[in-house]
Structure 1
Amino acid sequence: MSTNAVDITLMGRSYSIACPAGQEKALKLVAHNIEQQLTQLKSRTNSLSREDLLVMAALNIGHELLTEKMKNQEYMEQMDDRIRVLQSTLEQALVERSVSRD
């Protein structure tokens, strides 16, 4: 798979990031979201260094990701339960149909 260099800017610093072809727009969107989060953090506290702001943003993003993964896992478990109920209902209906034919 080929990669392209994508230029992004975070907190006034430019970075050239290798990105898989076709994923450039997604990378730029992620960079924009990170920049917004950094700007918000910086506006709340001017005493944090650039590195501290980046760590705080990484922790916030990590928390958001973990929360979404947990929601996704819960949803998958609910869907598994529903599928089991449907399978059981179908099996019962087939058994009843088979019995009624005899």
Structure 2
Amino acid sequence: MAKYAPLASYLRRQKRAEVDLTFRDIERIVGGILPKAATADGWWRAEPAEPLMPQHIAFADAGFVAEPQTRAETVHFVRMDAVRSRSGLDQADERGEAI
């Protein structure tokens, strides 16, 4: 996680539940170029059956999940508690419960 520790620190300092960063922003934050693999959505998203990669650990340690838009070379980071809240609202809405 060492390479992505500055990104985790940056995300921890954010007050907002959602943070949008370009690949260039992320490269400036980590002080290096992102790997070519970062142009694939799977590089940003942790898959349950796959081992966690250093970047996934950094996002999770900061309390965020990544929602990449690789064609636009941007990443939308969302706080995990906001994802859970949004998911809970979606489920309540599907059941027809008052929100």
Q: TM-score, normalised by structure 2?
A: 0.32
* Greater share of residues in helix: 1
- Greater RCO, CA 8 A, separation 6+: 2
